Amino acid sequence: MKNSNGVLKQKKSHELLNPQKKLGNTRHSLAHLLAAAVLKKFPNAKLGIGPAIETGFYYDFLLPRQLTSGDLKDFEETMRTMILECLRFTGKKVTPVLAKKLFKDQKFKLELISDFTKEKKPLTVYSTGNIFMDLCRGGHVKNTSEINPDAFRLTHIAGAYWKGNEKNPQLTRIYGVAFDSKKELEDYLMKQEEAKKRDHRRLGKDLSLFAIADEIGPGLPLFYPKGAILRRTVENFIQDLQEKNGYEPIWIPHITKGELYKISGHLDKYDAMYPPMKLKGEAEYYLKPMNCPHFMMLYRTRAHSYRELPIRWTATTTVYRLEKSGELSGLTRVRSLTQDDCHVFAKADQIENEINLMLDMLEKVYGAFGFNDFRVHISTHDPKDIKKYIGERKIWKQSEKILENLIQKRSWSFEIVPGEAAFYGPKLDFIFKDVLGREWQLSTIQLDMNLPKRFELEYTDENGKRKEPIVIHRAILGSTERFLGIIVEHFAGAFPFWLAPVQVSILTINEKTFPFAKGIERELRKSEIRVEIDSRNETIGKKIREAEMQKVPFILIIGDKEVAANKVAVRERGKGDLGQKTLEEFLKIAK
Amino acid sequence: MKNSNGVLKQKKSHELLNPQKKLGNTRHSLAHLLAAAVLKKFPNAKLGIGPAIETGFYYDFLLPRQLTSGDLKDFEETMRTMILECLRFTGKKVTPVLAKKLFKDQKFKLELISDFTKEKKPLTVYSTGNIFMDLCRGGHVKNTSEINPDAFRLTHIAGAYWKGNEKNPQLTRIYGVAFDSKKELEDYLMKQEEAKKRDHRRLGKDLSLFAIADEIGPGLPLFYPKGAILRRTVENFIQDLQEKNGYEPIWIPHITKGELYKISGHLDKYDAMYPPMKLKGEAEYYLKPMNCPHFMMLYRTRAHSYRELPIRWTATTTVYRLEKSGELSGLTRVRSLTQDDCHVFAKADQIENEINLMLDMLEKVYGAFGFNDFRVHISTHDPKDIKKYIGERKIWKQSEKILENLIQKRSWSFEIVPGEAAFYGPKLDFIFKDVLGREWQLSTIQLDMNLPKRFELEYTDENGKRKEPIVIHRAILGSTERFLGIIVEHFAGAFPFWLAPVQVSILTINEKTFPFAKGIERELRKSEIRVEIDSRNETIGKKIREAEMQKVPFILIIGDKEVAANKVAVRERGKGDLGQKTLEEFLKIAK
């Protein structure tokens, strides 16, 4: 567990970043070595630019021919040889005249020199031993001996326009990755390979989960039956859990007059709103990008007594956000987000119980999905800038203390981030790490002292006085779509039994066994198992392969022997053949 | 059962309408008698107009004072006396000069006379005996003796601007109802009274089902927990039934590029579409007013084999239709409609089975809600105008025959309506009569040979050839919102046990019994019964009254005696006290 005094987000000093900076220098230096290697093979190659990037580096070239993977291997070999030659990196300032002379055969470099000269930027040149020289701002190792020759790899090529402008010539960009150790490189490559296999956009197609249609629009996925069942299984699981804990469902429409967002303040401030629908002779209507204002308004339609509080309302409902089309991706970045949204209207003295109940539920949900690796951000107010927050100071202090105490009790990994609270209240964010080590923000719990004020929400207290409730926002999954994208990749499409859209595939070996298979199907359906039957006139080998491709948890094979024995031959995903079982025995295994 | 040769809708001859026309004359004549009665009491009253309307008549007056219910009684008495005097109605044409003279004290009549004269319309005057004369186009009984003096009633008054223009003076409109017999009048008044009590807008408020907020917009109801649970109970019931019958859920977003509706043809033809959202640098997006195009598009994202057919896809999803704001009403006429939509993609030789399966399901649903009184419209093509229909003639003939045969087998009341089919296929509509005798169109089953063509839908047949599937549209409830509006009124809010949002209320007599009551609550929840507990410090009488107002099917009262006997005192809605029961006994009664 981290110290509760916490790490200040976005405030790490540059000293702390040294290891990362050193790796950046290595990567930048490898880019130069790559250019040197390319020039060795293609002396007339024209060089673009070659920076370090997140996990490695790239360099752009105008080349006399298309590259092959053999070329990349050659370049790697040359680079490795250069590294072993212990070449020094040295930099110096040059005049424009000298620079133009040094790069007289490199038209793109000449263009940069004249750009920099116009902008009155200094010109520097970096040499690698005496084999290569580049126009460069620096950021290199001192000597190639600092570079681990086994910890880099040229990975792939791509087309890139010079200066990113499609009117310019297209260059060949060679990408590389680089780390400090061979192990880190191998880990990274393995994870990349694994991530490609697990890509939910690919699995979404292979497993018939969802589709995106150009005629409907980007970021607006449609779900086939298997995807729709997966959605519903996840959503119903949350809803059932909520209702067992005293939460109640409500229903709200997907649109509203702009008036609602004038009251909430979103109309001026929220920028991912779809443009309005202008009704003749009526108001402007908006697609809702969030649910809070609808919840507030429903609360406001009736008078409330302290006896009713806490009121815990939930809705699984779709909101629409105009994310940039270039940033949309599969299910993880969409324009239609179905939120498992909840708003609790409570008295100040109920905050602790309510947050605790939410944490209990979160723990159950994460447990059910097997999410063990997560951490919590506690976002609190900035004590140096208290003016920017609204609401009573007493409630701020009290609720921040509550959040800290409740989280500390649970032995979860957490950090406190002062200054990260919204102006209307402190919050908790839950960050989940998937099997590939990628982090995803999932759940959020947030106090709100703003919307109750803007909507003038009230309840009557024990003495008949009007009081303002506190609102607690909460989502466990965040959005169904994004959550599905994450779990498809986390489980690589091999969902646990309770989640799998098809839990059991029954395969017949011949036509005669079909009636028996049908009987098994009926029995399984009675036990509320999602089952499908494959009675096609194909070989059993092909049918098994296809069911395995679909990552169905259990395959039941029905041949003459099984019919005679009144049993089923069971194959379990990941375990293979379990032998013949009676239906009863199988049900025990499955559940 | 009606003759299958059927009644031609909207083609009834005027001769057939005679009884209705006669009643219209009676009502119009009563309006004149009302005017005569008003003039008798208020000789200076100024007369507006007085037509027959759907169930009676009205007349507008400028009066010297506000009317009381006593006045209406007086007018009724006077009218009855006039009826018994056997006064003759006689009409004659008059010149503008004469008309102006006859109505010199009636400023509104003078205005009409000058309007008619300008428009060169003939002027006619009708006399009632020698006691009253009105400017009138006619349509009266010959003699007041034809009017049943016991079959009319003055019901209420309302304000109405002269000529409907708010710049004109406001007049007092007196409404009356009139029928042929006293029994019909009494039936009508009783039903009106009952309808008022059952009004779902009123019950929606009293039972905390839904609210409409000005800031969100008209026709966009929000549902409180009880309404949300009612919605879900109804929707889940349909979904479960569908899935047991091999239907599969899909999920589609609420918006789309206009492109989709260009393909479907709705963009030009459908007029209840919300205006588009114009995205900068992107297409125009629309809220979906129907789901069919989304279903078609999802089908088109993959190749399909004849082996997969029939594909039966369903979605419970909200569409948005821009109904005129003046026509919106509670849940029965809304802008947000959640449809239990289904599209079946089938081969022509599967139509019969598919329609039959749909009829089976309809029958089950109507049975579950206790809807016994319904009839079916079979809308077929107009044999005189075959050019206006698309699709193969063979399929039209075959499927119309199928619809007729399948309906005939079920001994349901039906009529065939040639010429009422859509241009793309024949259809079935189900019209349900509620306890008050009002008719509501609910389910619809419709063949579509158009959308598969427009979307170029295909499947590969047994011989590897590409064929076009037939689409069958189907909705059972129509829309959740409208269906709820109808059943709230049909059941007067006293829902059958399985539908009731709260099925059992547990009332404690004193604080000591609370733990026992809590135990009962837990047990009921385990049996998936929706239960609430009222442990307020109020008298048991008040608690019972309030639970009864909420129309909860069962009330369990827990006093010291019940705790001692380990029993519950049961009250059943409509039956009263059932005495003490063990929990087990009660569960048997409830289920």
Answer whether B300 sits within 8 Å of A213, measured CB to CB: yes
Residues 211-240 of A with CB under 8 A from B: 211, 213-217, 220-225, 227-229, 231-232
Picking from B222, B251, B252, the nearest residue to A253 by CB comes out as B222
Question: Catalytic pick from A173, A226, A266, A473?
Answer: A473
User: What is the CATH number that goes with domain A7-194?
Assistant: 3.30.980.10
List Cβ neighbours of B92 (8 Å cut-off, separation of 6 or more).
B124, B125
Closest-CA residue of A relative to B228 is A250
Read off the amino acid at residue B139.
Answer: G
Q: How much is the average pLDDT of A18-43?
A: 92
Closest-CA residue of A relative to B522 is A244
Domain A504-590 has CATH 3.30.70.2740: no
User: Residue B449 — very low, low, confident or very high, per pLDDT cuts 50/70/90?
Assistant: confident
Answer whether A251 sits within 8 Å of B231, measured CB to CB: yes
Picking from B217, B224, B255, the nearest residue to A320 by CB comes out as B255
Q: How much is the average pLDDT of A266-291?
A: 91
In angstroms, the first-to-last Cα distance of chain A is: 35
Read off the amino acid at residue A193.
Answer: E
- The pLDDT assigned to B35 comes to 97
- The pLDDT assigned to A427 comes to 94
Question: Catalytic pick from B140, B198, B473, B581?
Answer: B473
Would you say A215 and B297 are in contact if contact means Cβ atoms under 8 Å apart?
A: yes
Determine contact: B515 vs chain A, CB below 8 A: no
Closest-CA residue of B relative to A298 is B222
pLDDT at A137 over 60: yes
* DSSP letters for A489-503: HHTTT---TTT-SS-
State yes or no: is A536 an active-site residue.
Answer: no
Q: How much is the average pLDDT of A271-288?
A: 92
State yes or no: is B381 an active-site residue.
Answer: no
ipTM confidence: 0.84
Would you say B82 and B37 are in contact if contact means Cβ atoms under 8 Å apart?
A: yes
If one compares A383 and B123, the residue with the highest pLDDT of the two is: B123
Picking from B213, B277, B300, the nearest residue to A274 by CB comes out as B277
Half-sphere exposure of B219 (CA within 13 A, CB side): 20
Token couple for B335: 């802008």
Picking from A213, A225, A254, the nearest residue to B301 by CB comes out as A213
pLDDT at A576 over 50: yes
Contacts with A313 from chain B: Cβ below 8 Å: 225
State yes or no: is A206 an active-site residue.
Answer: no
State yes or no: is A300 an active-site residue.
Answer: no
Beta strands in B434-524 (DSSP E): 439-448, 459-460, 466-467, 470-479, 504-508
State yes or no: is B32 an active-site residue.
Answer: no
Query: Which of A184, A204, A174, A219 lies closest to A79, judged by CA?
Result: A174
Beta strand B439-448 with B470-479 is antiparallel
State how far residue A281 is from chain B, nearest Cα, in angstroms: 10
Over the stretch B157-185, which tens digit does the pLDDT of each residue have? 999 999 988 899 999 999 999 999 999 99
Question: Catalytic pick from A27, A109, A343, A567?
Answer: A343
Domain B206-253+302-490: CATH class, spelled out: alpha beta
pLDDT at B13 over 60: no
Answer whether A279 sits within 8 Å of B274, measured CB to CB: yes
pLDDT at A9 over 60: no
Residues 532-571 of B with CB under 8 A from A: 536
Q: How much is the average pLDDT of B357-365?
A: 95
Would you say B28 and B51 are in contact if contact means Cβ atoms under 8 Å apart?
A: yes
Average pLDDT over chain B reads: 92
Answer whether A228 sits within 8 Å of B216, measured CB to CB: no
Question: Catalytic pick from B106, B242, B339, B550?
Answer: B339
B interface test, pick of A201, A210, A222, A261 with most B CB neighbours within 10 Å? A222
- The pLDDT assigned to B11 comes to 32
Determine contact: B255 vs chain A, CB below 8 A: yes
Answer whether B302 sits within 8 Å of A211, measured CB to CB: yes
Domain range summary for chain B, segments of one domain joined by +:
7-194, 206-253+302-490, 504-590
State yes or no: is B206 an active-site residue.
Answer: no
Answer whether A301 sits within 8 Å of B215, measured CB to CB: no
Residues 293-352 of B with CB under 8 A from A: 294, 297-298, 300-302, 307, 313, 315, 318, 320, 322, 325, 336
CA B298 from chain centre, in angstroms, equals 32
Over the stretch A471-497, which tens digit does the pLDDT of each residue have? 999 999 999 999 999 999 999 999 999
CA A20 from chain centre, in angstroms, equals 23
Over the stretch B73-129, which tens digit does the pLDDT of each residue have? 999 999 999 999 999 999 999 999 999 999 999 999 999 999 999 999 999 999 999
Least confident of A170-179, A335-344, A399-408: A399-408
Closest-CA residue of A relative to B314 is A225
Q: How much is the average pLDDT of A331-350?
A: 96
User: Residue B395 — very low, low, confident or very high, per pLDDT cuts 50/70/90?
Assistant: confident
Q: How much is the average pLDDT of A411-438?
A: 90
Over the stretch A88-127, which tens digit does the pLDDT of each residue have? 999 999 999 999 999 999 999 999 999 999 999 999 999 9
Dist CA A25 CA A89 (whole Å): 11
Answer whether A536 sits within 8 Å of B307, measured CB to CB: yes
Residues 179-208 of A with CB under 8 A from B: 208
State yes or no: is B200 an active-site residue.
Answer: no
Determine contact: B265 vs chain A, CB below 8 A: no
pLDDT at A17 over 50: no
Contacts with B530 from chain A: Cβ below 8 Å: none
Determine contact: A259 vs chain B, CB below 8 A: yes
pLDDT at A351 over 90: yes
Q: How much is the average pLDDT of B45-70?
A: 95
**The whole model's pTM is what?**
0.84
pLDDT at B6 over 80: no
User: Residue B19 — very low, low, confident or very high, per pLDDT cuts 50/70/90?
Assistant: low
Helix B351-369 to helix B393-409 angle (10° resolution) is 40
Closest-CA residue of B relative to A281 is B325
State how far residue A590 is from chain B, nearest Cα, in angstroms: 21
Residue A250: φ, ψ to 5°: -125, 175
Contacts with A336 from chain B: Cβ below 8 Å: 253-255
Over the stretch A234-267, which tens digit does the pLDDT of each residue have? 999 999 999 999 999 999 999 999 999 999 988 8
For chain B, what percent of residues have pLDDT higher than 90? Answer: 83
Contacts with A298 from chain B: Cβ below 8 Å: 211, 213, 222, 224
Beta strands in B188-237 (DSSP E): 210-211, 222-223
- The pLDDT assigned to A18 comes to 60
Q: How much is the average pLDDT of A124-150?
A: 94
Contacts with A224 from chain B: Cβ below 8 Å: 250, 298
List Cβ neighbours of A179 (8 Å cut-off, separation of 6 or more).
A23, A55, A148, A151, A152, A185, A188
Cα four-point dihedral sign B418, B420, B425, B427: negative
Exposed e or buried b per residue across B13-36, where buried means at least 16 C-beta atoms within 10 angstroms of its C-beta: eeeeeeeeeebbbbbbbbbbbbbb
- The pLDDT assigned to A12 comes to 33
CA B273 from chain centre, in angstroms, equals 22
Query: Which of A26, A38, A133 lies closest to A76, judged by CA?
Result: A38
